[in-house]
Structure 1
Amino acid sequence: MFTKLRNKFLILNMSITSIVMIAAFAIIYFITYSNIHSEIKRKLSSGSQMQITIEGTDLPENTQKGGTISSVQNFSTDGPLSFSIEVDADGKILKVDSFIDMPDEAYSKAAATAWSNKKNNSAITLEGKQWQYAVTRMSKHVILSNGQQYTADENKYQILFLDVTESDKTLFQLLTTLLFVGLIMLFVIFLISLYFANRAIKPIAETWEKQKQFVADASHELKTPLSIINANYDALLANQEETIKSQIKWLGYIKIGTDRMATLINDLLSLARIEDVNFETRKMPFNMSNVIHDVMLSMEAARIEKRINLSHSVVPDVIVKGDSERVKQVVTILFDNAIKYTNDNGQIEISLRKSKRHVKYHITNSGKGIAKQDLPKVFDRFYRADPSRTHEIVGYGLGLSIAKTIADRLGGEIHVTSVENDCTTFTFTLGV
């Protein structure tokens, strides 16, 4: 299941990345292609030839009546190779203007090919090179002696050829580079996506495993009181003639079982409510010192029953902004946990200190302590650090998990340190 989910994340990420990358590369290629071809068109259009004819009687001495002046705009010598061919209306070559050493057959072939396809800016292959050409009709501009002038089209055409071999080569190299870089990037992105997909799936898989374990543990914990209830119910049925007073022992066992189930269900509901994303905490100033004193008084009977000595150092009137009921719940859970795991005639020490930004509540109890390898599991659901005393200690291992969840929702922290066969300390830190 998680492999399929990871693959879906991977495919989605690769698809989005590929589309964005292809679009970016296509834009780069299109812009480059457009710029190169716009430059070629500009050069072809700038190579037009204009014939000027001067007629009239009032002419300069050095000008012959009816003479012509030809003006040709040539390409730069340091640019791509070029040549022009002048043809008549039938496509017959009249004049070749070229500095390129090519045989006459090549010019004839170029003129015939261009004339058969008069579409401007087309391309042909000639002498191993790519040539782009433009066919334009030649015109003459007539200037009369009286100052009048007009332009007349001639029955001749000019075919301009421009070497675009390097331009085509550049575009091909750009396309090859983009494809090569794209493949490398896709491979790198695949590895990165795979890494992050695995990281994204890992907490989900861990949560799923914890949920499965939670269901299994809850079922196991519910099984014990249910077994007690069923066994004592059967005992009552076997002695139906007896009075309720004589059967009070079995009824007491049933009451113990139902109380255990009620405690477990209440803890589960409390944990579910706290973990709900819509869970709201009240942010009101309250006196945390008073909260701690109230908890100590409420737990005094349980402490005295185990003959536990209590010493405390609580700074008075420590004001904290938060949910007083939830904070009291955390303090109660930690105090109750300390009493449960403190040895008889043991010691519990409580302190409350305030700094500029935080309030720290410490509770230390003597006892067997927690093994170093068990410390990371202390706040797990249904976990109890002393399996040998599981049946002696009332509870289901949900208290510290609830306390941890509340602390997280309040923006605080809970940490635990322990020395085996000596003591255990829980620290509850809350922002002021």
Structure 2
Amino acid sequence: MGNSSSARTREAPEIRMLRQRYVLVAAASAALVISVVLAVTNIMNWNSMTNSLDMIVEQIVAEGGELSVDEAGAASLAVSIDEGTLDDDEELDPAAPIEVPYSIRYFTVTLDEAGEAVGANTDHVVSVSRAQALALGEQAAASHARHGYLNDFRYAVTRVNGERTAVFLSARGEVASYWSFFASSLTAGVLGLCLVVGLAIPLARRAVAPLVESQAAQRRFVTDASHEIRTPLAVILSTADVIELEQGESPWLDAIRKQVARLDDLAGKLVFLSRNDEGGLSMPLGRVDLVELVHERLHHAEARIAHAGVECRLELPARAAVRGDRERLAQLLDLLIDNALRHGDASQPWLLAIEAPAESDRVRFQMRNAADSLTAGLHDELFERFYRADAARSSEGGHGIGLAVARAIVSAHQGDIQAVSDDGASLRVAVWLPAWQDADGEGEGGR
């Protein structure tokens, strides 16, 4: 029961990748939407602030560079300010802009046609001296812009009373307010993005949960079915042996044994892949001389290689020790040899090479054979289960999972495997395995 629950809840690497992509897509989408909303909002806020400032600047220009209060309230307001607060019976027209001259700070600079400052009026500002005003006026003229920002001022270069004049309006409060809003909106956007990611993680788990359950059920079915298949296969083999004892040898019995062997091999590979997917594939790792193992497996397949008429070229060091399970690595080499025999071309010799640099922590084994119907480049599809390049493959062919098992074996050793066609006429399968490290931490390499 414990193993069943573990298998049911464990995520395969592709499911984990799917869940991560779900979170990334949700985060990217949220980031895009939040960025657009923040950009539009802050641009609109900036334009609104700028338009409001320009309206006041235009009012200053319209009044000849000097803001004045409305005639109906100017005198009484001036008296009220001088004497104290407004009397209770005094009423001011709310539509009259009488507060404007007392709520803004501005100055004007008179310019000649060459852009030189010839005069300045700083009566309505305290923080700017006459010299500073003249310098700002010349900067505004040099920019050749009708409107703009300099320091904390919004300016307009225009004509006032027939003279070229730069009108500067203090925008310190408005600009500070804008940047405060910008920082607040940016903080809210970041918090919103974090909230979306925080919600996307558990939602992604729930979204892929049915896939995890389905995949676990498929693995259990494959394991159980593979075990169940082997029982009738054993009965069939026993029956064939009995028939052979009673009636003698027959090509039909040989065909039965051959097909039973294929089915048994398929069942074994399916069980291996299922256990590997469940993470239950445990192997005793020790020192394995890969060079010695290559010679052993080639000798084991010598009859088949000779029957195929294949010439083998070896480029092997004296030895190359790797950290692995000898039985599984032997299975790996058998699978690669079998794949080359089934799908390779005997017109060119095989090349089996091992590279074990002393300074490297990995050993590379590669096998190259001639092959048809390939395009130059990587061929990761060859490691897919039940992949068949030739849909019309005869019953003598493989099952299409040999290289999938090879990849599982390499992954269990924390190695890498790659199938490449360098020229479109050959296939090179390269395997990287961890080198064996001595007690002092040094690898044996190819010494």
TM-score (norm 1): 0.47
Q: Pick the structure with greater CA Rg.
A: 1
By relative contact order (CA 8 Å, sep 6+), the higher-ranking structure is 2
TM-score (norm 2): 0.45
Tell me which protein shows more strand as a share of its residues.
1
